[in-house]
A = this chain, B = another copy of it.
């Protein structure tokens, strides 16, 4: 652990308390009975459509998978005033006291490999998350079919869907790939020992996620911006965590960058890319990385996808002077 990283641990401990509070409030809200019961001859159905969305990308079939959502406190956003954050949220008609934050993963069938990018939170952050496997099945696949899991980083809402409550591998036939720096940081016993008590669980989550894959010889960190599979390349995007990165999928000349946690709140951070989040291990580096990738994506009209963008989280970045905007792809059948 670098001094820079260990200095941030107390702040992350506060973050953890905020998250825990949010999850408890949500559980209570979901369990509450409806104020007005349905009296129609046709009762209100109340279920939502399955949380997947298919998108054809060259010869690759991309399936966005919805793990669920978590409500985050706007005070987690840093580098600007809370008044400015509230103004930016209201501009997108997001008036609630908390920020509904999606957690997405992406399943890419390249035609030769079935690749899952991130695996969601399982049930570690409350009952409103942990639906990746349900939605993967709804989308016509099974966990046993997944050949490779690519992790953008080792935070619990991305990696802990790798393991079941029994500690076993949810994707028994998959190799897990991630940046060497990310694996080294979170799996280090020395880093865990040095961490404040309230922050140690983050290291434990990472170790729990890795354990069955390590035991099976399927935990395979990589170095640098390497080509991992035909048409699939790692892209470093450091700052949010020490080894945070995205994956660039290229097929028939078309490019899709799945960028992990480059953005935590679309309403705020496209308009103000300098806004960081408490979860960033290195906020300065995270901001610099976001600015660089936004500029590149806008200039190249790159198709991008992100784990906390509004589901399905696939779209483009538009530059409007010094600000950016998120332009989601339009719903439709595969064409």
Contact = CB atoms under 8 A, between A and B. Distances in A.
Contacts of A335: 29
A328 B58 CA distance: 27
A45 interface: yes
A58 B38 CA distance: 12
Contacts of A140: 45, 47
Interface residues of A, number: 65
Given A111-B37, A111-B39, A93 B61 contact: no
A31 interface: no
Interface string A67-92: 01100000000000000000000011
A190 interface: no
A11 interface: no
Contact of A41 (B34, B63, B114): B114
Given A41-B114, A111-B40, A114-B41, A46 B327 contact: no
Contact of A35 (B34, B59, B327): B59
Contact of A54 (B34, B47, B301): B47
Interface of A: 29, 34-54, 58-59, 61, 63, 66, 68-69, 91-94, 100, 102, 109-114, 128, 138-141, 145, 147, 252, 301, 310-312, 315-316, 318, 327-335
